Amino acid sequence: MDTALGYVEREYPISLIIIDYYSWNDPHGGRTPLGDEALPKSCWPDPKLMVEQLQEMGVELMISPYFHSVTSESKNYPEALIRPLEELLH
């Protein structure tokens, strides 16, 4: 939010912020396995509110699409083993 607000306050053009998967990890420890699609609460306490605030500033949010990759540490790994990718995407 601070980054987007800084751009808007300086009147720099900004219309989209991308949250890359590698920024999902908790800086206080722990990491999000590839395939879990979970933002750590310590960094992202209220994602819905953040999206609403960004939209009020005219900024959209995109989360990097890593849905095609699931590591064995992911809670979704067992399901990914038995279901075809096409089925998981629908």
Q: Hey, where are the domains in the chain? A: 2-88
Sign of the dihedral through C-alpha 34, 65, 40, 79: negative
Average pLDDT for consecutive 10-residue bins of the chain (90 residues)?
A: 92 92 72 77 87 95 76 86 68
Q: Which residue in 44, 14, 40 sits closest to 29, CA to CA?
A: 40
- Strand, coil or helix: 25: coil
* Contact between 80 and 74 (Cβ < 8 Å): yes
Q: Which residue in 27, 11, 14, 10 sits closest to 62, CA to CA?
A: 14
Q: What is the pLDDT of residues 20-38, one digit of tens each?
A: 877 677 777 777 777 777 7
The pLDDT, as a whole number, for residue 52 is 96
